[in-house]
Structure 1
Amino acid sequence: FILIDETTNDTVGAGTILEPREVRPGLQTRNDIRWHPSALDRSHRWAATGQRGATIWFTGLPASGKSTIAVAVERALVESGDVAYLLDGDNIRHGLSDDLGFSAGDRAENIRRVGHLTRLFADAGVVALASLVSPLKSDREIARTLSDAAKLPFIEIYVSTSLAECERRDPKGLYARARSGELKGLTGVDAPYEPPESPDLVLDTTSADIDELVAQVIELLNTRR
C-alpha cells in the first residue's frame, strides 16, 4: 500500500501487509492458565512497605481536573513517606492500552486493564491513583469489583466540574474540535457521561483550591486503610 498526502498528492509512505491482524472477539482464558500464588501473603508485603495498599479512582469529564488533583495527591503522599503511583489515562494509552481506540468496547477494556493493574499495585502495598474519564457506571463498577473481590480498599472520587467549566478550560482543545465536528465521540459532547450515584468523595474544583482538595483525598484515604 502507499500513503498519499491529500493536499499535494505526493507519496509520503509505503508498506506491505504481511498478514492480517485478527480482531479479538472477546476475552478468553485457556483452561491450562492457572493463578500462581506467591510465597508471600499480603501482610508480609504491607509490613515491608510499612503501609497498606489502596486504589483511588478519579472520574469526571475531560478537563475536569482529575489528573491535576491526582498528580498533587501522589506528590503529597510520596513526600510524606508513602509509596504511591499515578496511572494517568493518557499515559496508559501510550503503552498498556496503545492497541485500543475510544469505542465503548475499547473504553471498557481499557478500564478493565487499569482495574487489574490497580488491584495488583494495592496488593503490593502501593497506593494506586487512577485518573480516567471512565464515563460509564458499569465500567467503573468492574474496577471496584476487582478490588472488592480481593478485599482491597477502593475509593471512587468524582471530580464534579461542570461541562461549561470544562469547555471553558479546554487545555487540549478537545471540546472546540468536538463542537466543530472534527472530533467525534467526546465524552460530554456526543458521548455520555454517567456521574457516580454514590461516590466516596465529590470534589468541586471551582470552590476549593488544590491544597484543600488534596487534603480531602488524603483524609479519606487514611480512614479506609
Structure 2
Amino acid sequence: MTTQTLAEPAVLLADPRVAAVPVVDDGEPLVRLPRRLSPTREPVRRTLAERLEAAARRLPAGIGLRVVEGHRSLADQAAIVAAYTADLQVLHPEADAARLRVLSSRFVAPLEVAPHVAGAAVDLTLVDACGDDLDLGTPIDATPEQSDGRCWTAADGIGPDARAHRDLMAHALGGAGLVNYPSEWWHWSYGDRYWALLTAAPHALYGPVAR
C-alpha cells in the first residue's frame, strides 16, 4: 500500500491550474550539462544547469547527481504520451478520454504543459563515488503500475536506504530552487508552469523550445 494515490490531494500536470499559468519565456538558451552531472550531457535551460550545479554542492562528499534526461522534443513527448495512454486503455477500458488524461499525467505530462519540452526539467538519480546508482526504491521511469505506486516520492514500501536517499535528493534539489513532481521521485524542474504554480510565481519562465 502506498501513501499517495489518485484519491489523495496532489497537483498533477493534467490539472487545469497548471495550463492556466501564463508563460513569459525569457529566451534563455539550452546548454549542455557537464559530464560530471550528466554522462550524456543532457541539454537544459541555462539557469536550471546552474541550479543543478548548486544542488550537487549541497550533497555529502562521495555522493553525486546523474542526470539521464533533460530537454525532450515535442515529437518524443507525444510518442511517450500515446504509448502510455494506449497501455492505460487496456488496463482501464471503462475510462473516458478525460480520465485517461489524468491517469497518464501521473507518468508523462500532457504536451502543452510538458516541462521537459521547455528544457525546464530533468530526470535524475544519485550515484556513489564510483558512479554507481544508489538505491532510490525503483528504477527511473518505473510507471505507477510497474512499481505498484512506489514511484511516488512519498510512497511507503521502500527500504530505509531508499527513503534516506530520496530525502537527501529533496534537500539538495529543493534547496536549489527546484520542485519535484510527486508521482516521479526522479523528476525535478525549474521555471516551467508546474514550478510556477507550486512556488506562486506570477508566470512560468520557459515555454516549449525546439532544437
Q: Same fold (TM over 0.5)?
A: no
TM-score bin (small chain): under 0.3
Name the larger-Rg structure.
1
> With structure 2 as the length reference, what TM-score do the two structures score?
0.25
